[in-house]
Amino acid sequence: MSVRIGLISDTHNLLRPEARLALSGVNRIIHAGDICNEAVLQQLAAIAPVVAVRGNNDRGDWANVLSERETLDIEGVKIHVVHDLKDLKDDPQAAGFRVVVSGHSHKPSVRMEGGVLFINPGSAGPRRFKLPISLGFLEITDGECRARLQTLEVD
């Protein structure tokens, strides 16, 4: 069986139509924080079930229900989600995490470290400096994980 998960972060109150289109067809969505508005989560939930963590810019009653970190088990793969990697409390390898999803830096990256796949989908919200507008995908097939980043072409 194969599961395709959309990874998004740092939308900062802006869910672009290009992001919605890119995420169409995913089985689940993980938002790694700095959502800034509950409406963004509602729009994502119209695409697929959403798990989100609270970022440093997420404030208010709607954000208080979000945890600072979440651990999911999808198809036997432990995925840990945290907004800022500096707030990673556990040793990912010792905790059995196969994937760590984070945001905060707005810099998209995929790297393998100590057998753990670290993914930062970058920022899909307002442009910051000259960084790309991006999101990511995690595909889990028979326990194997593959990550891909996608730069969104925006005006």
Each domain of the chain, given as residue ranges in start order, spans 2-151
Does position 1 have pLDDT exceeding 90, yes or no? Answer: no
Burial grade of 3 (CB within 10 A; 0-12, 13-18, 19 or more): middle
pLDDT of 81 reads 98
pLDDT of 128 reads 85
CA distance linking residue 40 with residue 145, whole number of Å? 27
- Match domain 2-151 to its CATH number in 3.30.465.10, 3.30.160.20, 3.60.21.10, 3.30.70.20: 3.60.21.10
What percent of the chain shows pLDDT beyond 90? 94
pTM: 0.96
pLDDT band at residue 40, thresholds of 50, 70 and 90? very high
CA distance linking residue 44 with residue 41, whole number of Å? 5
pLDDT single digits (tens) 44-75? 999 999 999 999 999 999 999 999 999 999 99
pLDDT of 39 reads 97
pLDDT single digits (tens) 60-116? 999 999 999 999 999 999 999 999 999 998 899 999 999 999 999 999 999 999 999
CA distance linking residue 103 with residue 56, whole number of Å? 11
146 closest CA partner among 81, 55, 75: 75
pLDDT of 103 reads 98
pLDDT single digits (tens) 122-152? 999 998 888 999 999 999 999 999 999 999 9
Does position 155 have pLDDT exceeding 80, yes or no? Answer: no
Does position 154 have pLDDT exceeding 90, yes or no? Answer: no
